[in-house]
Structure 1
Amino acid sequence: MTTTTLRPQPVRTASSPPPDGPGRAFRPDIEGLRALAVTAVVAYHAHLGVRGGYVGVDVFLVLSGFLITGRLLRDLPDGGLPALGRFYAHRVRRLLPASTLVLVTTLLAARFLGPPLDSDQTAAYGLHAALSVLNRRLATLQVDYLHAGTGALSPLTHYWSLGLEEQFYLGWPLVVLVVARLLRARVRGALLVLLVGLVAWSAWRSAVVTAADAGPAYFWLTTRAWELGVGALLAVALPRLERLPHRLTGPLSVAGLLVVTASCFGLSDRTVFPGTAAWLPVLGTAAVVAAGCDGRAGAEPVLAHPATQWVGRRSYSWYLWHWPLLVLVPVPADGAGALVGRAAVALASLAVAAAAYRFVEQPARAATWSTARWLAFAAGATLVSLVTATAVLVLPPDVTGPGAAATVPSLPRDPVAAATTLSGLARSSLGATSVPVNLTPALRDAADSVPPTTRNGCQAPYLALTQGDCRYGDPSARRTVVLFGDSHAEQWLPALDRLGRDEHWRVVSWTKAACAVADVPVFNETLQRDYTECDTWRAATVARIAALHPDLVIASQSEGNAPPEVSPALFAAATVGTLERLRAAGVPRVAVVGEIPTPGVDVPACLAAHLDDVSACTFERSRALPFPDRHAAVASALARAGIPVLELVPLLCGETRCPVVVGDLLVYRNESHVTVPWSLYLTPVLRPLLDGAAP
């Protein structure tokens, strides 16, 4: 996705080859590939039907490897360390003025114009982007680039690719310099061997890591370096490529362009990527570049079209500007208006990019500053970015509610009275107008209102196959209850932990992210593959529970953690089947906490945008269950099996709508999970599940 490979019109010297010769200083076919790549990326981000447009990144990486390595081979062997300094100054001149402008502008726009709760994340991303390490941050956070929608990502996420390239070019020029000094006469041969090894190792690692966990694999340099390496191989092999016969280069160029185009439309969010699938755009780009070395390749008339060249010259600025605008400019959420709105923003970003190219990129490239001055500029620009990001981070928008301080009455210990009180509160809370000043947790803290198991590994992450003992409640108690399921089970641990301490139960929490109780195959969107870890974990955990001999198992699950093709009847049978296996293994009693009313929108973000209108974030009871047919089928199957269920929708919703704030308590921490204070508040409602199992 990075356009750090954007190449200005060259300043020719006496040693430069003629523009129309084999070693052309300017390559219109490469400019055309830039245009294709950035258009694909923008169309993909704007959801304009280019399902695999993210492969534009791969095109840019190959082009970058080719152009930058070619420059290094041209300058470093004779220039030594001074040439290395000029190389870095050249990259600063080409890249940093535009990227710093966009970074600082986006940080300020996010602070004053964007969603109030997003400024923290944007500022944190800005700090990493300024230091060219955002890709590492995203990989560490397990960000799922291909499946997080526009609104779920920071307006600076696209800086990951700039950081990845800069990390590569911190070390690669030094390698070229050392090889050139040691093996001056055989520099290309030595680099060829090194690059073949790099490409082979990185491509292998990309395939292995992507197969295991595609989300982080998308960002790591180690899984992407081979794409830069392919471009570098082309630069090393340039003397031979220039001698390719036209009868070969013409068809090769056309075929390469077709492969890249087919990748843009043939791949999709369901493709396991990068992995082996990235070879399609990489080889397609390599074919066009290799064929274009003779200056007469077959695809050049298309790639060299004036309109294509115009976009190609502005591709770097367009790449920088399009994503912040798509994220920050509000458009309709769905329908024809959404499509038109996104297309309009994409085109507007091109207009902004054209202005940035004219007034930022071109003046910077025309500047005749010394190497030292450009390197000083780099330090200053980085400092400005860091200071701006830090200021946004420490001075976030105020999202304190303007409403009067509120309270919520304690629920009675008696379960019937508790249920009656709770349903009454659900109805009366729908009349709230403003967010109370003492909202708990505060909106800015809501995302972190998670059970301890989220942080200590007892909520098994995607790749984990087991977890520790994970004991809560009264660890020395004789009675044991196991909490079993996915994150919709985990959210009840705070309540069960308190119940365990109060009622002397040992609580064991064994849950796994996105892994339902129902024994059905799952395709994990984040991993971009079948979620086999879920099947393995579920079977192993059922065996662990049986070996533990608990008095009670409480299960809960998201009814969305199964693919659409799983029918309600099959999902219900698979749910009961898992619980029956526990019974057959000797567990005396199992119970189920039913699905919570699900708002489907990020409630804290909604409230932060509607501090004076809480009702704007409430939701219809008729839509409280995203999968009503599955829910009904599961409820019916559990009733037939004699497994008790605590149904929550009647308790947490009014007659027609469901509240998101009750008294001073924030109910939801995101779009589908409750906060820790709300879980604790519902402790009396969950008490009958334990009382029914007491000896």
Structure 2
Amino acid sequence: MRLTNAPQLKRPPQDEPPEALARPSHWRPDIEGLRAVAVGAVIAAHIGFFYSEGGFIGVDVFFVISGFLITSLLLREIDRTGRVSLAGFYARRAVRLLPAAVLVLLATLAASWIWLPPTRMRELAADAASAALNVVNIRLAMTGTEYLNAEDPPSPLQHFWSLAVEEQYYLAWPLLLLAIALVAKRIWGGRFARRGHFHRRRMTAIAAVLVFIALASFALSVTQSAVDPIWAYFGIHTRAWELAAGALVAVAASRLRRVPRWAAALASWTGLGLIVASVFVLDERTVFPGYAAALPVAGTAMVIAAGCAPDRFGATLLLRQAPFQYIGKISYGLYLWHWPLVMIGPAILGIEEPRLRDYLLLMAAAFVLAVASFHLVENPIRTRKPLVLVPSRALAMGGALLTTALTVSLMLVMAPMPTETNEEAAEVTGNDTTVWELLDESSDVDMVPANLTPALDEAFDDQPTLYDDGCVLERDVTEVDEDDCWYGDPQGDKTLVLMGDSHAAQWFPALNQLAEASGWKLLALTKANCSLPDVEELDWKLERRYTECEDWKENAFDLLADLEPDAVVASAYDHKEVMADDPEQAWEDGWVTSVERLDEVADRVYYMADSTDLIDDVPDCLAQNPEDASVCVGDMEKAIVLPKEERQSLMDAVADAGAEVVDPIPWLCDIDQGTCPVVIGNILVYRDSNHLSARFVAELAPQIAVAIPLEAAEADTE
């Protein structure tokens, strides 16, 4: 994101070439003030300031500003020379953006190493590498679409996504402008071409290309925001129109100077009002960017356009005030520093549940860091003549900074996770020793065993093979995969179906063992965040009713009607947002309806009650407490999602509907002590806060075999 401005003494436009340093007329106090408004909105949203949930639109304000300033620079260069110096353009961006960005990247990695769980370092280092390469938005979109990342805290480097979007845009836009300039010169130029006539045609061509980009990108933004909101939020394809909107204002700047002053003043205040209104009208439930982004984008474009014909009674009257001007000047650094402090600051202060006052203290620290980085790093480097006047030197400096950031990031990615214990636990073999025998004594384990399996830094990947095989379907999929998700004994005469969401999929390792040993085929019908009960639910990621889940369930029931399985194991995470006046009763009624439908098509239906949710990420907790694992042990009463009476009512209801109830809590918790261990023998029980590790579930096969006797089911059907 382009947030900085040149020193106030010279006040050149953003990314202004050296020869233009003496032209202060290009400096816009209204734009400087808009930067302050934008960064203030972003910070307010991130710290949970009163009624400012929509502050994320500050990023959209920056996109429009950047599109206007960069395009204005490029158009002046084309007017002056007839072409664009790509080396000069990228050299200027390297000098202005990279020093502060690399400083924040390295400082964030250092702070994360000291204060965050060691289990997070590899992912954070990968984030840093992708941020340095300006592809972190793509990485965030890809990891954000993975269902099992839902519980992960945001990356301290997540805010670099907006810089990545801008740089991706500016990889193509100067090249496109250069191509338009050269083609225009060949078609309309020549010795006898009139300059004014040639200039108008060239600008018309540029405007036409920008309109096409804006319309195409806006259409994608509208159509994709509801369907695939994470990719729509982070993607260049749905954000390019915002930069193009600013660029179109730059193209029209000369004509905008003719607008009557009173009309410009009215437009500027209206535009500023739209920006401010966006902060309070939009919130996290808004489908964004989509149509909603038009509100802040239009407002910003109006303020900038009105500033081409400034009036003393316009919004500049407010935006040019000293506080706005100074915050606008340091806004780039303020944007870079604030988010790492939001994410790491509470750990630095030793606060588990920070309040607004704590965040305000952290933002004061961010302000100090932004001031220091501006005066000690940003400003001295970007005004240094050897770099300003010689593009090759600036590019070399940028390359050195990027190499440093990448080297440090890759070293951290490959570094083993540090451990503080060499004590080994008794190995669970499944024969001589079982997790069941060790359960009652596991809540008092002190040391995280050195032979823990899976290892803490590998826990996230210890998931059922269903995920690698694509058999836990993504949200947008509604069709049932009836060909590729068969397991167990391929030659088996009997069929077992595992059906539900990720809390159903977690039982696959044990059920697959049983199916293979008993000569049963096993079909996995699982879908991300899709609850089996017949309810309408709100999906946390789609931020709307999860209609894809409802469609998938209907298709799954149709398949089961044709298949007529011998047994079905159904399960679901109980922590869902049900869209009903009485969500608890609707959840129970929905389970009853679904179990009755399953009972009509299957010989046996097993309802696997939900497992535990320890709320805090278990591998992270153990990594921070390697010598006292008992700190991470869960309280059984808090770990069971539903209240005791409500859970019992649900189990009784599904039993009356025809299902055999399997309660896994005795396998996971010490009932007498009321605790839920996280390490049993040398086995890690949880891969995150609420999903069991595949290794642990595999060791539960003997217990599950008693609760779900496939041999008995086979005998009953003869």
- Return the alpha-carbon distance in structure 1 between the equivalents of residues 342 and 86 of structure 2: 37
Q: Of the candidates 67, 72, 78, which is equivalent to residue 70 of structure 1?
A: 72
Q: Structure 1 residue 322 and structure 2 residue 338: aligned? A: yes
For 1:516, give the aligned amino acid. S
Tell me the SS of whatever aligns to 2:688: coil
Report which stretch shifted further, 591-600 or 57-66: 591-600
Q: Deviations over 1:316-367 (max 9, x none)?
A: 00111111222222156666x5222222112211110110001011101211
Displacement of 1:5 after TM fit? 5.9
Task: Describe the shift of the 1:176–1:522 C-alpha distance in structure 2 as closer, same or farther (beyond 3 A).
Answer: same
Report matched runs for 1:84-483 at 5 Å: 84-142=86-144, 152-183=153-184, 184-185=198-199, 186-296=201-311, 298-329=314-345, 330=347, 331=349, 337-369=354-386, 370-399=390-419, 401-408=421-428, 410=430, 422=436, 425-465=438-478, 466-469=480-483, 470-483=485-498
Task: For 1:567 and 1:379, locate their aligned partners in 2 and report how far apart those are by CA, in whole Å.
Answer: 56
CA RMSD of aligned residues (A): 2.3
Provide the C-alpha distance between the structure 2 equivalents of 1:182 and 1:412, rounded to a whole number of angstroms.
Answer: 79
Q: Distance in 1 between matches of 2:356 and 2:560?
A: 50
Query: How far apart are 1:80 and its partner, in Å?
Result: 5.1
Pick one of 659, 663, 679 that aligns with 2:677: 659
The equivalent residue for 1:648 is 664
Q: In 2 relative to 1, CA 255–179 (structure 1 residues): closer, same or farther, beyond 3 Å?
A: same
In the alignment, is the contact (CA less than 8 A) between 1:569 and 1:633 conserved in 2? no
Query: In structure 1, what is the Cα distance between the partners aligned to 2:19 and 2:110?
Result: 46
Larger mean Cα displacement after TM superposition, 84-93 or 348-357: 84-93
Cα offset for 1:516? 0.5
**Cα offset, 1:433, TM superposition:** 0.7
Q: Which residue number in structure 2 is paired with residue 690 of structure 1?
A: 709
Which one-letter code corresponds to 2:109 in the other structure? L
Partner letter of residue 189 of structure 1? T
Alpha-carbon distance between aligned partners in 2 of 1:5 and 1:356, rounded to the nearest angstrom: 12
Note the residue ranges of structure 2 that are not aligned, 5 or more in a row: 13-17, 185-197
Change (3 A) 1:618 1:440: same
The match for 1:677 among 695, 702, 707 is 695
The separation in 1 between residues aligned to 2:512 and 2:280, in whole angstroms, is 50
SS at match of 2:637: helix
Q: Distance in 2 between matches of 1:138 and 1:75?
A: 35
Q: d(CA) in 1 for partners of 2:579 and 2:549?
A: 17
Deviates more, 1:391-400 or 1:497-506: 391-400
Q: SS of the residue aligned with 2:568?
A: strand
Equivalent residues of 1:402, 1:611 under 8 A apart:
no
What's the TM-score, normalizing by structure 1? 0.93
Moved more, 338-347 or 391-400: 391-400
CA distance, structure 1, for counterparts of residue 22 and residue 445 of structure 2: 74
Residues 54 and 264 in structure 1, CA contact (< 8 A), matched pair in contact too? yes
* Deviation string, structure 1 residues 362-398 (Cα, Å, up to 9, x no partner): 1012111211111111211111111111111112431
Q: 1:621 to 1:17 in 2, by over 3 A?
A: same
Q: Superposition pairs for residues 516-535 of structure 1, below 5 Å?
A: 516-535=531-550
User: Closer, same or farther in 2 for the Cα pair 1:144/1:499, shift >3 Å?
Assistant: closer
In 2, Cα distance between the equivalents of 1:597 and 1:177?
Answer: 60
Distance 1:148 1:516 in 2: 16
| Cα distance in structure 2, aligned partners of 1:94 and 1:595 | 53
Q: Tell me the equivalent position of 2:592.
A: 576
Structure 1: how far apart are the matches of 2:177 and 2:447?
A: 63
Mapped partners of 2:320, 2:652: distance in 1 = 65
Q: What is the distance in 1 between the residues matched to 2:7 and 2:223?
A: 37
Alignment partners' CA distance in 1, 2:426 and 2:491: 38
Q: Which moved more, 1:81-90 or 1:68-77?
A: 81-90
Tell me what 2:27 maps to. Answer: 26
> Displacement of 1:259 after TM fit?
1.1
Give distance in 2, aligned partners of 1:637 and 1:7. 69
State the distance in 2 between where 1:650 and 1:549 align. Answer: 31
Which range moves more in the overlay, 95-104 or 295-304? 295-304
- Structure 2 Cα separation of the partners of residues 548 and 244 of structure 1: 71
Question: Residues of 2 paired with 1:5 and 1:353: CA distance?
Answer: 11
Task: State the shift of 1:457 in Å.
Answer: 1.3
- The Cα shift of 1:3 comes to 3.3
Q: 1:412 to 1:371 in 2, by over 3 A?
A: closer
Secondary structure of the 1:281 match is: helix
User: How many residue pairs were aligned?
Assistant: 679
Describe the SS at the equivalent of 1:496: helix
Q: Assess if the C-alpha contact under 8 Å between 2:507 and 2:697 holds in 1.
A: yes
Q: Output the CA distance in 1 between the equivalents of 2:450 and 2:21.
A: 69
Question: 1:627 offset after TM fit, Å?
Answer: 2.5
For residue 188 of structure 2, what is the aligned residue in structure 1?
A: none
Shift of 1:15: 7.7
Q: Is residue 417–residue 457 contact of structure 2 (8 Å, CA) maintained in 1?
A: no
- CA distance in 2 between partners of 1:649 and 1:535 (Å): 29
* Aligned partners of 1:16 and 1:25 also within 8 Å: no
Answer whether contact 1:203 1:223 (CA < 8 A) is retained.
yes
Whole-Å Cα distance in 2 between the matches of residues 107 and 406 of structure 1?
A: 36
How far 1:77 moved relative to its partner? 3.6
Asked if structure 1 preserves the Cα contact closer than 8 Å seen for 2:57 and 2:296, the reply is: yes
Deviation at residue 47 of structure 1 after TM alignment: 2.2
The percent identity for this pair of structures is 38
One-letter identity of the residue aligned with 1:447 = F
Return closer, same or farther for 1:14/1:638 CA change in 2, 3 Å cut-off: closer
What aligned pairs does 1:613-624 form with structure 2 within 5 A after superposition? 613-624=628-639
Deviation at 1:148, TM superposition (A): 6.9
**1:285 is aligned with what amino acid?**
T
- The alpha-carbon distance between structure 1 residues 14 and 141, as it changes in their structure 2 partners (threshold 3 A), is closer
1:635 matched to 2:635: no
SS in 2 for 1:265: helix
2:3·2:35 contact (CA, 8 Å) conserved in 1? no
Q: Measure how far apart 1:264 and its partner are.
A: 1.2
Write the deviation string for residues 471-507 of structure 1: whole angstroms up to 9, x where unpaired: 1111111011000000000000100111111111111
Contact kept in structure 1, 2:57 and 2:293, CA below 8 Å: yes
Q: Which consecutive residues of structure 1, in runs of 5 or more, have no partner in the other structure?
A: none
Q: Is the 8 A contact 2:96 2:378 kept in 1?
A: yes
State how far apart, in whole Å, the 2-side matches of 1:139 and 1:154 are.
12
Q: 1:539 corresponds to which residue?
A: 554
Contact 1:256 1:283 in 2 (8 A): yes
User: What residue identity is the alignment partner of 1:639?
Assistant: A
Asked if the contact 1:100/1:385 (under 8 Å) is kept, the reply is: yes
Q: 2: CA distance between counterparts of 1:623 and 1:14? A: 66
Q: Does 1:54 align with 2:53?
A: no
Shift of 1:560: 1.4
Alpha carbons of structure 1 residues 627 and 255: separation in structure 2 relative to 1, 3 Å: farther
Give the match for residue 602 of structure 2. Answer: 587
